[in-house]
């Protein structure tokens, strides 16, 4: 019995250690980059908050760089009248010809829905905006926002439900995000020149400070980059991780169609006024 009890205790300890290793610790994983004290790491590294007031917003970045990955962040957005505020969570490389994968949450007047703004930049070219309402109140609780980025596609997901797919379209002349390592960044900032109803609604500073909450950052399923621009990836081939070849199955495609049919606000690939001479080449790969 003593041996069995000891074995059980060891098993529990190992499981607890494994769970602790998977859990995000913001002290270890990110650096606060700006905000003069408005960004705070709390609860022994389990929680991070960003705040915005009339003087400044705040932000952080990951210590690691990545070249492909499957990454999650749980975020609870600014509640109440958050009009004019922008909470961002994105991957970005350095330089004038950068790559970038964006989640941006555009604040609202009380009672109006947040707009989730997404974009993809490849070699400095963006203008690939797609926007969505969310099917829940993102200020009531934490929700998981995920980016899958592999050599074939980028998939944006919310609580495990895919909302957008950007496919590798190099075969038709569209540069793909595959050569530049990126960090994760997040910030809370004043975007009232454009964020809410095209900039018509400004920030009500009597409601400040505005605060967003972050927890459970997970980059364990990612290829870590080391050594600067001439560095190397921790992944040596597409067989290292199953997600390196992951694609949407039939069920996931149905879920994405549901989101896009019921909650999509804007799709650049349908904007005839913006592209009167023809849509960007990658739009030909979109099914919805």
Contact, 169 vs 176, CB < 8 A? yes
Residue with tokens 């949450």: 105
Which SS3 state, helix, strand or coil, does residue 146 take? strand
DSSP H or E stretch at residue 163: strand 161-167
Q: Which residue pairs from 248-256 have beta carbons closer than 8 angstroms and sit at least 24 positions apart in sequence? A: 248/155, 248/162, 248/165, 252/162, 253/162, 253/287, 255/161, 255/162, 256/161, 256/162, 256/163, 256/164, 256/165, 256/288
Q: Say which of 100, 129, 165, 282 is annotated catalytic.
A: 100
Report how far residue 44's alpha carbon sits from residue 47's, in angstroms, rounded to the nearest whole number.
Answer: 8
Count of alpha carbons within 13 Å of 209, Cβ hemisphere only? 16
Q: Please confirm, yes or no, whether 123 is among the known catalytic residues.
A: no
Q: Please confirm, yes or no, whether 100 is among the known catalytic residues.
A: yes
Q: Say which of 104, 129, 165, 282 is annotated catalytic.
A: 104
Report how far residue 153's alpha carbon sits from residue 177's, in angstroms, rounded to the nearest whole number.
Answer: 9
Active site residues: 100, 104
């Amino acid at each position: 019995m003593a041996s069995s009890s000891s074995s059980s205790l060891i098993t529990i300890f190992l499981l607890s250690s494994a769970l602790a290793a998977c859990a995000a610790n913001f002290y270890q994983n990110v650096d606060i980059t700006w905000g003069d004290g408005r960004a705070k790491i709390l609860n022994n590294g389990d929680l991070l908050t960003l705040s915005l007031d009339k003087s400044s917003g705040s932000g952080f970045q990951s210590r690691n760089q990545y070249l492909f990955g499957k990454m999650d962040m749980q975020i609870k957005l600014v509640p109440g009248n958050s009009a004019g505020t922008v909470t961002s969570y994105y991957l970005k490389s350095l330089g004038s010809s950068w790559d970038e994968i964006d989640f941006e949450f555009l604040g609202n007047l009380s009672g109006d829905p947040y707009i989730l703004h997404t974009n993809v930049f490849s070699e400095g070219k963006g203008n690939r905006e797609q926007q969505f309402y969310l099917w829940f109140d993102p200020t009531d609780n934490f929700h998981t926002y995920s980016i899958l980025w592999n050599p074939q596609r980028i998939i944006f997901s919310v609580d495990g439900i895919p909302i957008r797919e950007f496919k590798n379209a190099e075969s038709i002349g569209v540069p793909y995000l595959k050569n530049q390592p990126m960090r994760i960044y997040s910030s809370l900032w004043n975007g009232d020149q454009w964020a809410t109803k095209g900039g018509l609604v400004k920030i009500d500073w009597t409601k400040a400070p505005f605060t967003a909450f972050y927890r459970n950052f997970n980059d364990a399923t990612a290829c870590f980059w080391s050594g600067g621009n001439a560095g190397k990836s921790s992944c040596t081939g597409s067989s290292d991780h199953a997600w390196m070849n992951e694609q949407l199955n039939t069920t996931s495609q149905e879920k994405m169609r549901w989101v896009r049919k019921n909650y999509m606000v804007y799709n650049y690939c349908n904007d005839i006024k913006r592209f009167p001479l023809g849509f960007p080449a990658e739009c030909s790969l979109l099914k919805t």
